[in-house]
């Protein structure tokens, strides 16, 4: 099959079918990713479909290597699908239609910049902030950065350098950097994976507050079921490699959620159910 043709056909079809009101914030239509060719080909993601409305908070869970991160990379346009279509804001080529904020597990702050300068970086790159960057960076933008840092408890560390901060603090900065440019879509790839339990619970609450404050569309990839249950509206479970989505459950607990509830029996039951599902697919 000629993949290029297939792409064009799918996009045409999607554009004909979808009107503005039907446009999803994120949509995968049987998107798959295959690395390499012929005998050495490795399927990272089987043809997978997913739909997300604006303001939705979806958590992707699944065993190692199932392709969760691959989905994120597709949506953020870091890689292209080998087949199928990835639509963000109704169009291909993300980041031009919707503003995207992304946070990886490794905070990757630029070491030669202060925390403040790091968090401000997206404003230098992303339109429309880009055009007034040099005028506003010492005034309006700076205030914006400081407000955000204050929200995550880092107000006093704006002039510090990354090497002076702990892992948890860097990850908080990372979140700020992912949100400073008011993205419509927030992509999170196991952002709290390297942190201890207390720090994680702290950061979950911070993320929930930020989410409820700004209501971006969020796609969270995580291996922590409690994290998924606490934060997300929907939890999608993926099968083992080459993965696809096998379950899509809504979490019916109203937001904002209290951190204490993760120990409630209702919550524990839900996560146990997920756990069993994943254990099955891992075999």
Partner 1 sequence: MTENTRIRMMSFSLIFGFFLMWEVLCVLLNVSDLVLPRPSEILVTLWVKFPILLPHILQTLYSTLTGFVLGVIIGTALGVMVGTSKVAYAVAYPLLVGFSSIPKVAVVPIFVLWFGSGTTPAILTAMVICVFPIVVNIATGLATTEPDLEDVLKTLGASKSEILWNVGLPRTMPYFFAALKVAITLSFVGAVLSETVASNRGIGNVMMTASSNFQVSLVFAGLIILALLGVALYALFSWLERRVTGWATRGNDITIT
Binding site for partner 1 (CB under 8 A): 76-78, 95-96, 100, 102, 104, 106, 108, 110-113, 121-122, 124-126, 157, 161, 163-166, 169, 181, 187
Q: 62 near 46, Cβ under 8 Å?
A: no
Which of 102/278 has CB closer to partner 1? Answer: 102
Instruction: Give min distance, CB of 109 to partner 1, in A.
Output: 9
CA distance 88 to 233: 19
Which of 82/97 has CB closer to partner 1? Answer: 97
Measured CA to CA in angstroms, residue 2 lies from 6, 36, 82, 187 at distances of: 6, 17, 11, 31
Which of 6/155 has CB closer to partner 1? Answer: 155
The strand order across the sheet containing 26-35 reads: 42-52, 26-35, 83-88
CA distance 150 to 188: 21
Which of 159/166 has CB closer to partner 1? Answer: 166
Name the DSSP letter for residue 4: H
In three-state secondary structure terms, 10 is helix
CA distance 200 to 192: 6
Which of 134/263 has CB closer to partner 1? Answer: 134
Instruction: Give min distance, CB of 158 to partner 1, in A.
Output: 14
Instruction: Give min distance, CB of 69 to partner 1, in A.
Output: 12
**Strand pairing class (57-61; 100-103):** unpaired
Instruction: Give min distance, CB of 97 to partner 1, in A.
Output: 10
Which of 84/168 has CB closer to partner 1? Answer: 168
Q: Which helix (H) or strand (E) holds 188?
A: strand 185-189
Backbone conformation region of residue 65, classed left if phi is above 0, alpha if psi is from -120 to 50, else beta: left
Question: Residue 17 has which token pair?
Answer: 């079918």
Instruction: Give min distance, CB of 172 to partner 1, in A.
Output: 13
Burial class (CB in 10 A: 0-12, 13-18, 19+), 249: middle
Instruction: Give min distance, CB of 92 to partner 1, in A.
Output: 14
Instruction: Give min distance, CB of 166 to partner 1, in A.
Output: 5
CA distance 257 to 205: 9
Which of 165/238 has CB closer to partner 1? Answer: 165
CA 172 to chain centre: 15
């Amino acid at each position: 099959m000629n993949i290029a043709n297939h792409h064009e056909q799918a996009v045409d079809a999607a554009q004909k079918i979808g009107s503005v009101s039907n446009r999803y914030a994120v949509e995968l239509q049987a998107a798959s990713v295959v690395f390499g060719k012929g005998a050495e080909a490795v399927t990272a993601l089987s043809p997978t479909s997913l739909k997300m409305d604006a303001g939705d908070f979806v958590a992707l869970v699944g065993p190692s290597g199932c392709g969760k991160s691959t989905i994120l990379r597709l949506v953020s346009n870091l890689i292209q699908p080998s087949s199928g279509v990835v639509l963000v804001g109704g169009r291909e080529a993300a980041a031009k239609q919707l503003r995207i904020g992304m946070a990886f597990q490794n905070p990757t702050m630029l070491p030669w910049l202060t925390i403040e300068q790091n968090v401000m970086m997206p404003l230098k790159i992303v339109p429309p902030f880009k055009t007034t960057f040099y005028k506003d960076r010492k005034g309006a933008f700076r205030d914006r950065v400081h407000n955000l840092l204050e929200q995550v408890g880092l107000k006093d560390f704006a002039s510090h350098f990354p090497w002076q901060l702990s892992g948890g603090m860097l990850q908080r900065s990372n979140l700020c950097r992912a949100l400073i440019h008011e993205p419509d879509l927030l992509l999170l790839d196991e952002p709290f994976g390297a942190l201890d339990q207390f720090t994680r619970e702290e950061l979950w609450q911070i993320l929930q507050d930020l989410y409820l404050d700004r209501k971006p569309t969020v796609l969270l990839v995580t291996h922590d079921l409690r994290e998924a249950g606490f934060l997300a509206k929907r939890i999608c479970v993926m099968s083992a490699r080459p993965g696809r989505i096998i379950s899509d459950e809504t979490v019916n607990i109203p937001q904002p959620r209290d951190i204490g509830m993760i120990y409630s029996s209702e919550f524990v039951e839900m996560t146990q159910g997920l756990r069993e599902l994943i254990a099955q697919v891992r075999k």
